[in-house]
Amino acid sequence: MARLHVTLLGSFRVQPASGRTLLLPLRKAQGLLAYLALRPGQPHFRETLATLLWGDRAAAEAHHSLRQALFALRQVLPDGKPSALVIQGDSVALNPAAADVDAANFQELAAAGTPRALEQAALLYRGDLLEGFALEEESFEEWLRVERDRLRELAIQTLGRLLAHQMRAGVVEAAIQTAGRLLALDPLQESVHRALMRLYVRQGRRGAARRQYQFCLDGLQAELGVGPEAETIQLYERLLPGTSS
């Protein structure tokens, strides 16, 4: 069993098996651990880490700061075997045998692609990568933007596949919840608005279907200055006859 649980999706949190949240005293140490945790087991050169987190400093000073951050992590992370940090020569990694990382699990489940795996992946995506976390380091922030966008796009794809499965299976309420999460991530997906309209009508909630159509119209107009696709209008008129679009 992993002795360390690292949460990267949503708010950043590090917990030992006891469940209490660990307090990492240095902000850069938090960023370092988050960077290592996104890909457990992958070694990273000290040079890369020093540049990522202390890119505005001279090389010697940056490497000194990296040593301090690693020392701070070793002081806080649980002792025992296996060690959470694997430091070998010029490389550093987070030991996957000692740490359980939600973002890594999310990616594995999304790749598995079975209905059950998609459900579990959806549960793990509680928010964007390191939501609310920032460092005044250009290299780190660029890495964070790229990875945050990548995982958000993977979440959209995962929820889309889950929604398609739920609709085929006729699990209406669960499909409505999934569609709502999808639109929270990408409110301009007309296909998801159409899916919600169909689901609401299946539940007899015609008023909710009308409101969903209006949400779609309002969002498209506000964000893109366009109206809905013909397919969306036709669906509205077919599902809700006698109403004006």
Compute CA 34 distance to the chain's CA centroid, rounded to the nearest angstrom. Answer: 13
- Domain 113-126+152-239 of CATH type 1.25.40.10: yes
* % of the chain beyond a pLDDT of 70: 97
Average pLDDT over the chain, rounded to an integer: 93
* % of the chain beyond a pLDDT of 90: 86
The stretch 164-177 carries a mean pLDDT of 97
Instruction: Pinpoint the residues of the chain covered by CATH 1.10.10.10.
Output: 4-101
Instruction: Pinpoint the residues of the chain covered by CATH 1.25.40.10.
Output: 113-126+152-239
Rg over alpha carbons for the chain, rounded to the nearest Å, is: 23
Q: How confident is the model at residue 242 (pLDDT cuts 50, 70, 90)?
A: low
Instruction: Look at residue 82 in the predicted model and tell me its pLDDT.
Output: 80
Domain 4-101: CATH architecture, name and number where available: Orthogonal Bundle (1.10)
Q: How confident is the model at residue 243 (pLDDT cuts 50, 70, 90)?
A: low
Q: How confident is the model at residue 174 (pLDDT cuts 50, 70, 90)?
A: very high
Buried b (16+ CB within 10 A) or exposed e, 186-213: ebebeebbbbbbbbbbeeeeeebbbebb
Give the integer Cα–Cα distance in Å for 138 and 6: 24
Q: How confident is the model at residue 2 (pLDDT cuts 50, 70, 90)?
A: low
Helices (H), 40-137: 46-54, 59-76, 102-112, 115-124
Give the integer Cα–Cα distance in Å for 30 and 23: 9
Instruction: Indicate whether 83 pLDDT > 60.
Output: yes
Instruction: Look at residue 19 in the predicted model and tell me its pLDDT.
Output: 77
Q: Does this model's pTM top 0.75?
A: yes
pLDDT tens track for 27-40: 999 999 999 999 99
